[in-house]
Amino acid sequence: MTGKEGDVAWETLDLRTAQPFGIARWTHSSYPRTFVTYAQDGLTGRGEAAPNAFYGETGGTVGAVLPLLAEALTDGWDWDGLHERMTARMPQGHPSVKCALEMTAVEWAARAAGVPAWRLLGLSPLPLPESSYTVSLGPLEEMRRQAREAVSRGHGVLKVKLGTGQDRQIVEALREEVPGAALRVDANAAWTRPQAKRMLDVLAAADVELVEQPLAAGDLEGHAELRRLSRVPLVADESLHHVSDVPRLAAAFDAVNLKLAKLGGPLQALCALRLARAHGLGVMLGCMIESSLGIAAAAHLAGLADWADLDGALLLANDPFGGLEWAAGQLERPRGVGWGVERR
């Protein structure tokens, strides 16, 4: 799909993962991603829409609302105006489309200023935390193989997808398989309260560094109770849809997972990050399955986070963007003007 509205143009590509990628809710190998450009005064800004069904989006909804939301982008310097006009058109939802448009405005302005986006945003050049590499959900032997191969390629931090009846066995097997690696787990909202309570000792015994979203997104009471019992920090992912969710999560979680595509863009993620710090929350900077363009935008903010989970593009077989420098899980701050990546 391609389209154009005023100075905004877009194109949808099917990104494919090198291996089928499974979490508690689904397994897919193909991900439609829409790449958006905004042209003004001879300069172009670029953004990516990485829709996720959990947040009410599909490739179809992206195509349907892009023409309407693209009208909101009339001046690459006017970020507040863009946000207000997008919100007026679509008060709820469509965060990945809003993200793509916000990304284009930020990169356009960074290119107009001749600086990297992180510098335009006034951020210090802090080193990025090492990113985790995801072990996706599948048969136990396959998960062991993924973990072994990732560690042999130099990854020191693994994020293990859980949410099955075999989670204890998975955690114990991977701890045994890669004894030197830091392990994080992500239940993707799939555990019941009793199941989560039973897992706490398993996670602590395996020296798991953190657990993402053990319970259903709306179960803040359950998370608050679990947090009182847990020695492992609890990180909100599916419970966080919008900047305004952050304050009430502080009573139920130790940290939040910020993803640009679910929060509505880099400026919204930066707002959420500041708000999280003001409420004493830890911060993970995460991603969807997305190209190096989307990952780069997150990387510009990642120096402010405690943990990074930015492996989305590493899992792809056909990443349309290049220019990010990885040494296993260690991503260098993108260099160059704007987002610092180039179309291949």
The footprint of Mg ion (CB under 5 A) covers 186, 212, 237
Would you state the structure tokens that stand for residue 52, as one six-digit string? Answer: 């996720």
Quote the distance between the C-alpha of residue 182 and its chain's center. 19
CB-nearer residue toward Mg ion: 9 or 208: 208
Helices (H), the chain: 59-70, 79-89, 95-113, 117-120, 140-152, 167-177, 193-205, 220-229, 246-249, 260-263, 266-278, 292-299
Between residues 151 and 160, which has the closer beta carbon with respect to Mg ion? 160
Task: Report d(CA 93, CA 34) in Å as an integer.
Answer: 17
Rounded least distance, CB 325 to Mg ion, Å = 25
Tell me which residue of 219, 221, 161, 217 sits closest to 187, measured CA to CA: 161
Based on CB atoms, which residue is closest to Mg ion, 155 or 159?
159
Task: Quote the DSSP letter at residue 304.
Answer: G
Minimum distance, C-beta of residue 191 to Mg ion, in the bound complex (Å): 13
Of 63 and 163, CB closest to Mg ion = 163
Separation in Å, CA 197 to CA 59, 200, 214, 239: 37, 5, 10, 19
211 vs 316, beta carbon nearer Mg ion: 211
CB of 97 to Mg ion, least distance (A): 21
Residue 259 or 300: the one with the smaller Cβ distance to Mg ion is 259
Question: Residue 74 burial (CB < 10 Å; 0-12/13-18/19+)?
Answer: middle
Could you count the other beta carbons within 10 Å of the beta carbon of residue 154? 12
Least CB distance to Mg ion at residue 16 (A): 21
Minimal distance, residue 61 CB to Mg ion, in Å? 21
Shortest distance, CB of residue 105 to Mg ion, whole angstroms?
Answer: 27
Q: Which is nearer to Mg ion, 186 or 254 (CB)?
A: 186
Report, in Å, the least distance between residue 212 CB and Mg ion: 4
For Mg ion, the nearest residue by Cβ is 237
Q: Is the dihedral of CA 68, 74, 76, 80 positive or negative?
A: negative
Containing H/E element for 256? strand 255-259
| Rounded-to-integer distance, Cα 257 and Cα 272, Å | 10
